[in-house]
Copies of this chain bind each other. A is one copy, B any other.
Amino acid sequence: MLRRESTKRELIGNEGMVLLDMIRRLNRRSATGHLLKLIEKTHPADTAWIFRHLTEKERSEIFSIIAQTKMIGEFLSELDDAIMVLLVQQLTPQYMANVIADMASDDAADILEAIPEELADEIRKYMEKKDLEEVEGLLQYHPESAGGLMSPDFLSLEEYLTVDESIAIIQQKSEELEMVFYLYITHNDGKLAGVISLRQLLMNSPKRKLKDIMNPHVISVSTDTDQGEVAHVVSQYNILAVPVVDSAYNLVGIVTVDDIIDVIREEATEEFLQMAGAGKDREILLKSTIDSAALRAPWLFASWIGGVMAMIIIGTFEHELSQVLALASFIPIVMGMGGNIATQSSTIIVRGMATGRVNMSALWNVIFKEMRVGVLLGVLYGLFLGVLAYFVHHEPKLLGVVVGLSIFGSMVMAATIGTVIPLILKRFGIDAAIATGPFVTTAIDIVGVLMYFYVAKMLLGL
């Protein structure tokens, strides 16, 4: 939800560390009164940040103080899920039901979704029917859809109201509502009709009807729109909130820009981890060693397979290797240069697709461009290495040519594969960020080593 507009001054870098130290020290001295005062002066988002840097024992002790303040709800919604899930088990289900009742219903739904089902069911028993229905209504949507992101606590006005009637409604109601900067306007059947900003409302004469002054071309998303697309809409059109409609175009909620910022950050983090083959759990740093290893093992398996294939291929060239032992020395550089230029190409393409910068209607241009870059860089580093190899190993005479050509070939091939694989994955509707890493590295390992030994065999006449 969008918070109240005003808080203390910012908490950046050092200020955060100072606050962390103070909280730790007060806790060590069991100075509960001072600690309570300090926490009440601190923004819940900052307290949540501090919690990342505490030990489990400290978290538990300080949480028992926060649990007694009115901030508990906002604090819980700011915490990383992995930490939140552990802490709420300190509270009774009855107490949690009260906390949740005071929270914005989208935040309440997020919490009920994250905690163990058993506990969530216990809490539900103590919730009031009205609150529960609102939360359950939100939980029916996929958490990564507009329905899962939206808040149902918004203000909508019917189109036949006048300006001064609208202002009166806002003055009565707005305290508990989100984002009353845009006022969404419905036909009397609840279908979305238009939008007007609070400021535009104020600039019209009191007796005009909303119908006549609203903007009917309102941007909206539907409940099942993917959160990435919602983020795209909000950032493409620079708006502060977007209304969410159901399949009958009834207005059912709004998604505010602060939630969109979280989506953008989270999706970037997931994309980073996926490209590095480290799963997509953005709280991986908070996971146990075993869980972290389990998230990372699959991609390493793909790379292990690539390595085994390279091993088999090199094995078949044992004869050639025994004739020119120096060939072995160049294996790392031939494969490394290929792997690295492939990483560059695939990162540029995957990120380019994510930011809409890859021209999907001119894919050949994109591919040829990367190939040309591969040729340029391949010639450069192939020459460097060829000349170096010639001076280091005088025999066989052509060794410099072999390694130079292999670097060249491996880099051109790697740039091409690194570009083509994400594009193909995308065409087949597969998330390019997830699968690109393993496919690309495995392919490069195999093709690179094959090319190198083949060139050596040909040119050296082995």
Residues 324-364 of A, flagged 1 when their CB comes within 8 A of B and 0 if not, give 01111111111111011101101110011001111111100
B264–A3 touching, CB < 8 Å: no
For chain A, give the interface size range: 35 or more
Query: Given known contacts A300-B337, A308-B388, A310-B333, what 6 new A-B pairs fall within 8 Å (CB)?
Result: A11-B236, A273-B347, A285-B359, A289-B376, A296-B344, A332-B332
Q: Is the CB of B292 within 8 A of A373?
A: yes
Given known contacts A265-B235, A336-B303, A336-B307, A174 and B198 CB-to-CB distance under 8 angstroms: no
Q: Is the CB of B273 within 8 A of A272?
A: no
Main secondary structure of the interface of A (DSSP, over half): helix
- B6 touching A217 by the CB < 8 A rule? yes
> Quick one: which of B326, B332, B380 contacts A449, CB cutoff 8 A?
B332
Question: Which B residue's beta carbon lies closest to that of A393?
Answer: B315
List 22 contacting pairs A-B, 8 Å CB cutoff, sorted by A.
A1-B238, A10-B220, A20-B361, A49-B356, A170-B199, A171-B202, A235-B261, A257-B257, A257-B261, A268-B268, A269-B355, A282-B355, A289-B376, A300-B340, A301-B381, A303-B337, A304-B337, A318-B326, A321-B328, A328-B328, A332-B335, A335-B336
Q: Is A306 positioned at the interface, with any CB of B under 8 Å from its CB?
A: yes
This protein's copies in its complex? 2
Q: Pick the contact of A445: B218, B336, B377 (CB < 8 A).
A: B336
B199 lies within 8 A of A296 (CB): no
- Nearest chain B residue, comparing its CB with the CB of A446: B332
**Within 8 Å CB of A341, what residues of B?**
296, 300
Closest 6 CB pairs of A and B: A307-B333, A6-B215, A276-B347, A268-B268, A238-B258, A310-B332
CB of B357 within 8 A of CB of A285, answer: yes
A373 and B292 CA atoms in complex are apart in Å by 7
Whether A329 contacts B315 by the Cβ 8 Å rule is yes
Residues of B within 8 A of A45 (CB): 236-238
